[in-house]
Structure 1
C-alpha cells in the first residue's frame, strides 16, 4: 500500500507540475513576445530572480529539507498537540525572519540591484526600473516561503495536489498582467511586478483550507527556544549550500551575464526555463515525494526501505533524464524558434538562446540526480556532507565560468554560452560527489541490475538521436508560429516513440519501475 501511495503521489505532483510548466512555457512565450529580450525585460528578470532565488534557497530548498525530517520525527514520536506547537513556533520564526528581510530589501533595493546586476549601473533607466521592480517583487518571497512551509506540512501528511497546483497561479497572474494590465501603464513592464506579488499571496491562500482540514492551521508564535525550532535552524543555515547550489550557480551566471551584451540575461533565462521542464516534471516531483518517505524510513531505522526508495527514484530519473538532456541538446535552436520567435523576440534571440540551451542541456541529468541524492542526506539529518559538496560545486562553477568564458572568447562565440556550460559542469561535480559519499557511507549504490538497464537506456537513446537527426531537416524555419509548434510536436513525438519502442525491444519492461 505504501509503495502504491508513493507512485500515486509522484503522478499527482508530476501531473500538476506538468500543468504548471506548460502554463509557464505559455507565460514565457507571452513575455518574450510582448517585451522582447534585453533592456527592460532584463531588468524584470533580475528583479524577479532575486526573490525567486531566495525562495528556492529558504523555502523549497534549505527550509523544506530541514523542516520535513523534524516534522516526520515529531509525527512518529509525539501526539497532534506537539506537532501543532512545532508548526506554530516554526511559522512564527519563519514569518519574523522573512518580514525583516523583506523590509530591508525594499528599503535598500538600489544597493541590492548593484550587487546582483552590476552591469545595469551603466544604464540609468534599466537600473532604476530594476530597483522599482524589486520593491514590487520582493514581498513574493514572504508569501511564497509561507506557501512552501504550508506545502511541506501537507506533503508530510500525503497531501500533494494543492502544493503542486499553486505555481499555476503565478503563471496565470503574469500572463494576465502582460496582456491586460501592461498596456494600461506608462511603464508596461511594471505590471509584471504587481502580478508576482499578487500571485505569491494567492498561492498561500489556497493551501489554508487543507491545513484546516488536517487540524494543522495554527497561529504563528515566535519562540526560538523551542527544541524543534532550534534543530531546524541548525539544519537550515548550512542546508542553503547543500540543496540549493544549482540556484546559487545560476545566480552567479546572472551577475556575470549583466556585464555582457544586452540580452544575455534574457537568453540565459529562456534556456533555463526550457531546461527546467524535464527537471520540474520528474526531478522535482520525485524529490518532493521521496523526502517524507525517506524521513519516515530513517525515523523507523528501516534501511532496506530507505535504499529501495532511492533506487526506485534513480530508475525514474535516469529513464527520463538521459533522453531529455539529449533531446534538448539536439533540438535547442528548433525549440527556441518554435516557442519564442514571435513579436519582439527575433531570430537572433532564438539563436542566442539556443546556444545557451545546448550548453546547459547536458546538465539536466545532473540537476535531476541532485534532487534525489541530496534529500537522502537531509532525511538522515546529515547536513555537513551536502554542505561541503555544495561549496565545492560553487567554486567549481566559478572556475568553469572563467575557463569556458575564455574558451568561448578565443573561438569567437557569445560569452553567455560559456556561463551555461559552466553550470552543466558544476551540476555533475555536485551530483557525482553526492553519489560518492552515499556509496562511501553505505547509504546507496547502483547494484548489479543497473548494468543491464543502463545498456538498454543507451541503445534507446542512440535510436532516438538517429530519428531526430533525420527529422530535423523537415522543420520549417520560417512561416507561422503555429506551424513551427506543430512540427516541433511531431518531431518530439517521433523521438519519444522511437525511444520507447527500442527500450521495449531491448527487454525493458514497465514493471522494472515499480518501487522495491
Structure 2
C-alpha cells in the first residue's frame, strides 16, 4: 500500500516538477521583460484575486468537500449514481460560479479598491489593474470546473493528468509574455489574456480522460439533490479552513499596496519560490492521501486511517525540513541566479531576499497543513479546520500590524509563516487528542536523526554560499553554475547524512507493512 501511495505521490510530483520548472522560466521572463514596476504590480494583483478564489473554491474547499463524497459514492453506490453525482455537481457548481464570475467582472473596480486600496494613490495603476481583472476573473470559472474533473480523476487513481494540467497555464503565459505582449500598448495586459486562454485550455484538456472513465459530466442544475447538498454542506465552512495561508497572502497583498512600488512584486517572487517545493511535494502528498483517507473512513478502518496519516507526516518532515533549511540559506543566491536579468536589478534581489527568507521559514508548516487537513476532510469534518483557520487568520492580522512597520514587506511574509505554524499545531493537537491519529513507533529517534541530517546539510550550504554581493556582481553563467553545484552538494550531503544516521526505506513504510 505504501508503495502505491509513494508511486502516486511520485507521479504527481513528477508532473508538478515539469509545471514548476516552466513556472520558473515564466517568472524569469517576467523579471527580464517587465521587472518589478507598476505593470507587474497591477498584473499580480489582478491575477491574485481570481487565483486566490481558485485556491479557495477549486483546490481548497471544493476539492476537500467533493473527493470524500465522491469516494463514498464510489465505494457504496453503483456507477450510474456516481455519474449522476458528477452531472449534478458540475451543473450546480458551474451555474453558481458563472454568477460569481459575472459579478466579479462587473465589480472589478470595487474589488481592486478592496484588495489593493493603496493603488488609489496611483490612478493609472488602479485603472490598469481593473482592466486586467476583468480579463482574468473568468479564470475562476474555468479552473474550478477543471478542479472538478481533477477530483474525479484523482479519486479514480488517475493522478498524472490533473497534475500535468498546470503546465498548460505556464505555456500560455510564456506565449503571452514573449510573443503577444509586444503588440499591446500596455505590454503587461497580454499577461491577463494569457490567464484567460489558460483557463479554457486546461478545462478542455480534461474532457477526453473523463470520457474514458465514462464520467464526462452532462451538467444539470440539482441544488436539492442529496449528493450536491452533502458537498455544499462540507464546502461552505471549508472556504475558510482549507486556504488560510492563501487568505494570509491576500492580506499581505492588500497591505503591500500601501508600501513602496515593487513590494507586491517582491512578495510575488518570494511566494513563487516557496510554492516550488510546496507544490512539488506538499500539495502532491495531500492530493494523494485524501482519496485514500476517504476510502479508509468509508470502510470504517480507523487503524489504516491513522497509519496513512503517520506515513504522510514522516514523508513531510523528511522532505519539508531540508527544503526549509535550504531555501532560507539559498534565498539570495537563488533570486540572483534565477531572476536578476533585464529590469529585475540588484536592489530587487536584496529586497526579495528579505521576504523570501521570512516566507521560507513557514514552508514546513504549509506542508504540514496540506497533510493534516485531509485528516478532517476525509471524515467530512469541515468545521474544526474552519475554527482553527479563523484563529490563525486573526493571529496573522495581529502579527502583520506589529511586524509591517519594522520589517516592511518582509514582516508580511513572516507573519504568514508564524500563523501557518499555529494552524498546523492546532490541527495536529486535535487529531491526537481525539485519537484519530496515533503515532507509530520510532518517532523520537526519527526526529533526532532528521535534526542531525539537516544540521549537516545546513552547515555545508552556509559554508558554500558566501556573501550575497558576490552573487549579485557575478555573471549570469557563474551564478547559475554556482547555484547548481550548491543544490547538488546540499542534496547529496542530505542523502548521505540520512543514511549515516540510520534512516532506511523500511522506516518509511506504512506500519502494517513493516
Partner of 2:186, secondary structure, is coil
The answer as to whether partners of 2:333 and 2:471 remain within 8 angstroms in 1 is no
Give structure 2 stretches of 5+ with no counterpart: none
Deviation for aligned residue 1:465: 1.2
Q: Distance in 2 between matches of 1:198 and 1:192?
A: 10
Alpha carbon RMSD of aligned pairs, Å?
1.1
Whole-Å Cα distance in 2 between the matches of residues 448 and 76 of structure 1?
A: 31
Kindly report which structure 2 residues correspond to 1:497-516, keeping only aligned pairs within 5 A, or say none: 497-516=492-511
Correspondent of 2:433 among 416, 433, 440: 440
Match of 1:470 in 2: 463
Give deviations 1:167-211, integer Å, cap 9, x for gaps: 001111111111111111111111101110101111111111110
- Note the C-alpha offset of 1:38: 2.3
Aligned residue for 1:477, secondary structure, equals helix
Q: Name the residue aligned to 1:431.
A: 424
Write out aligned runs for 1:301-312 (5 A): 301-312=300-311
Give, in whole Å, the separation in 2 of the partners of 1:445 and 1:333: 40
Match of 1:332 in 2: 331
Please say if 1:380 is aligned against 2:379.
yes
CA distance in 2, matches of 1:479, 1:472: 13
| Per-residue deviation, residues 71-104 of structure 1 (Å, max 9, x unmatched) | 1111111101101111111011110111001111
Aligned counterpart in structure 2 of residue 492 of structure 1, from 487, 490, 502: 487
C-alpha separation in 2, matches of 1:243 and 1:445:
23
- Deviation digits for residues 110-151 of structure 1 (CA, Å, limit 9, x no counterpart): 111001100111111100100000011111111000000000
Tell me if the contact between 2:346 and 2:472 (Cα under 8 Å) persists in the aligned partners: no
Residues of 1 paired with 2:309 and 2:2: CA distance?
A: 13
Q: In structure 2, what is the Cα distance between the partners aligned to 1:70 and 1:115? A: 35
Structure 1: how far apart are the matches of 2:361 and 2:328? Answer: 7
1:25–1:218: structure 2 CA closer, same or farther, 3 Å change rule? same
- Aligned residue for 1:207, secondary structure, equals helix
Asked whether the 8 Å contact 1:370–1:430 carries over to 2, the reply is yes
Determine if contact 1:37/1:267 at 8 Å carries over to the other structure.
yes
1:498 and 1:8 map into 2 onto residues whose CA distance is 24
Deviation of residue 5 (structure 1)?
A: 2.4
The corresponding residue for 1:418 is 411
Query: What are the Cα deviations for residues 304-358 of structure 1, in whole angstroms up to 9, with x where unaligned?
Result: 1111111111111000111111111111111111111110001000111000011
Residue correspondence of structure 1 range 237-386 to structure 2 within 5 A: 237-386=236-385
CA distance in 2, matches of 1:461, 1:38: 38
* Cα distance, 1:447 vs structure 2: 4.0
Shift of 1:511: 2.3
Distance (whole Å) between structure 2 residues aligned to residue 218 and residue 147 of structure 1 = 12
How far the C-alpha of 1:60 sits from its partner, in A, is 0.7
Give me the whole-angstrom Cα distance separating, in 2, the residues matched to 1:129 and 1:25: 25
Which residue, out of 452, 456, 462, partners 2:449? Answer: 456
How far the C-alpha of 1:462 sits from its partner, in A, is: 0.8
Aligned CA distance change for structure 1 residues 357 and 445 (closer, same or farther; 3 Å): farther
**Rounded Cα–Cα distance in structure 2 between residues aligned with 1:277 and 1:451:** 29
Q: Following TM superposition, by how much is the alpha carbon of 1:446 offset from its aligned partner in structure 2, in angstroms?
A: 3.3
* Contact 2:256–2:263 (8 Å) recurs in 1: yes
How many angstroms apart in 2 are the aligned matches of 1:445 and 1:336? 41
Residue 474 of structure 2 aligns to a residue whose secondary structure is coil
Shift of residue 19, structure 1, vs aligned partner: 0.7
Contact map agreement 1:257 1:264 (CA 8 A) in 2: yes
Instruction: Give the TM-score of the pair, scaled to structure 2.
Output: 0.98
SS at match of 2:340: coil
In 2, Cα distance between equivalents of 1:4 and 1:470: 37
Matched position secondary structure for 1:206: helix
Note if contact 2:58-2:144 (Cα within 8 Å) is conserved in structure 1: yes
Aligned equivalent of 2:234 = 235
- Matching residue of 2:129: 130
Corresponding residue SS for 2:242? helix
Rounded to whole Å, the distance in 1 between the matches of 2:376 and 2:101 is 30
Structure 2 CA distance for partners of 1:39 and 1:162, relative to 1, 3 Å: same
Q: d(CA) in 1 for partners of 2:453 and 2:327? A: 16
Runs of 4+ with >3 A deviation: 445-448, 474-477
| CA gap 1:116/1:476 in 2 versus in 1, 3 angstroms | closer
Contact 1:38 1:264 in 2 (8 A): no
Q: Secondary structure, in 3 states, of the residue corresponding to 1:507?
A: coil
The 2-side partners of 1:511 and 1:387 are apart by: 36
Q: CA deviation at 1:473?
A: 2.1
Q: Check whether the contact 1:10–1:286 (CA below 8 A) recurs between aligned residues.
A: yes
For residue 3 of structure 1, report the CA deviation from its aligned partner.
Answer: 3.5
Q: Secondary structure at the match of 1:344?
A: coil
Would the aligned equivalents of 2:266 and 2:351 in 1 still touch at CA under 8 Å?
A: yes
| Bigger mean CA deviation after superposition, 64-73 or 465-474 | 465-474
Specify the alignment match of 1:479 in structure 2.
Answer: 474
Contact 2:310 2:440 in 1 (8 A): no
In the other structure, the counterpart of 2:162 is: 163
How many Å apart are 1:448 and its aligned residue?
4.1
Aligned to 1:342, the other structure's residue is in SS state coil
1-side partners of 2:402 and 2:318: how far apart? Answer: 32
